[in-house]
Amino acid sequence: MDELTGLIPEKKPNHIAIIMDGNGRWAKNRGLPRLSGHRAGTENLRRTIRAFVEFGIPYLTIYAFSTENWERPSDEVEGLMHILEEVLDSELAELHQEGVRLKHIGRLERLEKGLREKVQQSVELTENNKRLTLCIAWNYGGRDEINCAIKQIIKDGVSPDDVTDKLVSSYLFTAGIPDPDLIIRTSGEMRISNFLIWQSSYAEWYVTPTLWPDFDREELLKALISYSNRDRRYGKISVCGEDVEKNAQ
């Protein structure tokens, strides 16, 4: 057991993906505009990154802007783009110094040129960092990702016999990133919302009613403890199950 956290180190997830839901409700509860919720959510992201470094979890993926989020009111979409730009301007140097590698998953084409270039430069600057890989899903959709992969597989003339799980994974935006072990969704919604639909095939889920801006270190710890008590069987039977069977024979 880890003295500080009560966690069993060998049952710690390697990769956690988070659907940061509930910013709008958080703002509404306070009579504030939705963007204030997104700003509070962004502040919480900073705290979350710190907690990941503290707990030694090397991969974090955040669902920050989906392919469906373009349908939100234009001031919210513009506000979110602005937040991303501000964060890159103000936080990149520190993230780099802290050893955070930034990755982008999704499609950059639709972003305004200046922002697109900032994202690309941030990814390039931090590409050799090792402490934490932070994948930012921005203009990301799981179906879009699979469509892109299929198109590229066809363009590359891959023979049907060579199509395997490994090959498909290598064509996704997440190529080279291990599949998530744990997906956390805040605000109580029980949906996948087009997030990592290929990669999450054997991820454990943790849903909490806590709204994203309030999801703090203690909440993360609760999710980690819940995960450490799971029996991940990947469709097989557990060691306990084998024992039960043997005993019954």
Report the catalytic residues: 21, 69
Candidate residues 12, 15, 38, 118; the one interacting with ligand FPP per rule CB under 6 A:
38
- Report how far residue 35's alpha carbon sits from residue 19's, in angstroms, rounded to the nearest whole number: 17
Contact call for residue 83 and ligand FPP (CB under 6 A): yes
- Compute the distance between CA of residue 100 and CA of residue 227 in angstroms, rounded to an integer: 24
**Number of residues written out for the chain:** 249
What would the x/- binding string for ligand FPP be over residues 126 to 145, using CB under 6 A?
----------x---------
Q: Is residue 87 a contact point for ligand FPP (CB under 6 A)?
A: yes
- Distance between CA atoms of residues 112 and 110, nearest Å: 7
Q: What is the largest CA-CA distance in the chain?
A: 67
Minimum CB separation of residue 43 from ligand FPP in Å reads: 9
Nearer to ligand FPP, 21 or 181 (CB): 21
Task: Return the structure tokens found at 23.
Answer: 């910013």
What does DSSP assign to residue 112?
Answer: -
Residue 105 phi/psi, 5-degree rounding, is -120, 135
Among 17, 21, 102, 199, binds ligand FPP (CB under 6 A): 21
Is the Cα torsion angle 146, 64, 185, 48 positive or negative in sign? Answer: positive
Site for ligand FPP in 163-222 (CB under 6 A): 187
Contact call for residue 95 and ligand FPP (CB under 6 A) = no
CA distances, 84 to each of 104, 113, 194 (Å): 12, 14, 21
CB of 96 to ligand FPP, least distance (A): 15
**Out of 16, 18, 36, 41, the residue judged to bind ligand FPP by CB under 6 A:** 41
Q: Is 67 in the site for ligand FPP (CB under 6 A)?
A: no
Tokens for 112, please give them: 């305004």
Three-class secondary structure of residue 35 per DSSP = helix
Residue matched to tokens 């200046």: 114
23 forms part of the interface with ligand FPP (CB under 6 A): yes
Considering the rule CB under 6 A, would residue 119 count as an interface residue with ligand FPP? no
**Any contact of residue 22 with ligand FPP (CB under 6 A)?**
yes
Residue among 171 and 173 whose Cβ is closer to ligand FPP: 173
Question: Where on the chain is the footprint of ligand FPP (CB under 6 A)?
Answer: 20-25, 38, 41-42, 45, 64, 69, 80, 83-84, 87, 136, 187
